[in-house]
Each structure stands twice: as C-alpha cells, then as structure tokens.
A = this chain, B = another copy of it.
C-alpha cells in the first residue's frame, strides 16, 4: 500500500504526458532508476505474491529487467528475461511470441531459450508498463508454449484506459499493478482506486 501510494505521488510529480498517450517516467523508472524506490516496488510485489508458490520471474528486455530483479531479490527466485530479435549467441531452440510495441510502433519477436522455462515452473510475469497488453500477452504465450503455470502478473504502471489489463484479467489472469491510470491529460492524471 505504501509503495502504491508513493508510486502515484511519484507519477504525479515526475511523470510527463506527451501526445499519443505517452507517459514519460524515465526520471525514476525506465531510463534513470531511483534505486531505493525500485526496491520499495520490488518489496510490494513480493508482498502481493507472498505464499503463491512463484518459483521464477519472467520479464522482457529492457525496461522490465530492473523491477523484475528488485522483486526477485525479495522473493528469492531467479529472473528470466525474454530477448527481442536475434543475435549470434541465441540458441535456435526457443519459445517465441510476437509483440507490438506501443511506444515504438513496431512488431518484435520476443523469445526465451527453452532451457530456462520448464513445465513445472510457476511464473510471475513482470513488466514496467501495461497499456494495450501486448507485451504481457507475449509473455503469456511463451509461458503457454512452455506449458508452465502463470501465477499472475505484476506491473509498475498500468494505463487502465487502454484496457489491456482488464482484458487479461477477464481471462482469469491475476494482474496486480502498483498504479493504474484511468485518465491522463496534459494537466491531470487520475488513478483507479485500489484496496
């Protein structure tokens, strides 16, 4: 609860809204990282999923990594991050999913080496943002391909007005967002009340 309220205040004071529903929070979350604050968010995610049996965190490069690592520190589990595109040192034996990037306007393939997700795994999916839900759907597809259980998802900032989170919740996936923005204009940011 402290982390949620603190995150809302931080978005209000440091967030900048740009045309096309772009919220810039790069002063503390996804370019410059406020380390102490990141730890608080990680602790809150660990609290939300306490006792849920999560044994691994799955995220996607790049800006999901920091918050995934912070949560992993408190949960005592490893992190796996999906990579975008191809590289010489990527194995060909990979779980793959297509993801449309909201901010970049491109379609990426994200993939994870099959060695790092097992069907016995109980996964927590983590990302910094949830808007249309495309990245999260990609991670859900990778988990499904691996036959692993998804215990739930944890997001720093959800753009509730873009409905991706609600669509995924309606399919029975537990989605916990530390802040949910229901309305965003140049002059005001309104948050969805949460317990």
Contact = CB atoms under 8 A, between A and B. Distances in A.
B66 A87 contact: no
B113 A79 contact: no
Query: So how many copies of this chain end up in the complex?
Result: 2
Interface stretch (A5-13, A32-40, A139-147, A164-172): A32-40
A124 B38 CA distance: 19
A89 B116 contact: no
The size class of the interface chain A forms with chain B is 35 or more
B24 A76 contact: no
A166 to B, nearest CB: 23
Contacts of A81: 31, 33, 62
A73 interface: yes
Given A32-B78, A88-B103, A89-B22, A116 B69 contact: no
A79 B32 contact: yes
A70 B38 CA distance: 11
A61 interface: yes
Contact of A24 (B61, B66, B89): B89
Interface of A: 18, 20, 22, 24, 26-27, 31-36, 38-39, 61-63, 65-66, 69-70, 72-73, 76-81, 83, 86-89, 101, 103-105, 112-113, 115-116
A-B residue pairs, 5 tightest by C-beta: A61-B62, A62-B62, A33-B79, A35-B72, A32-B116
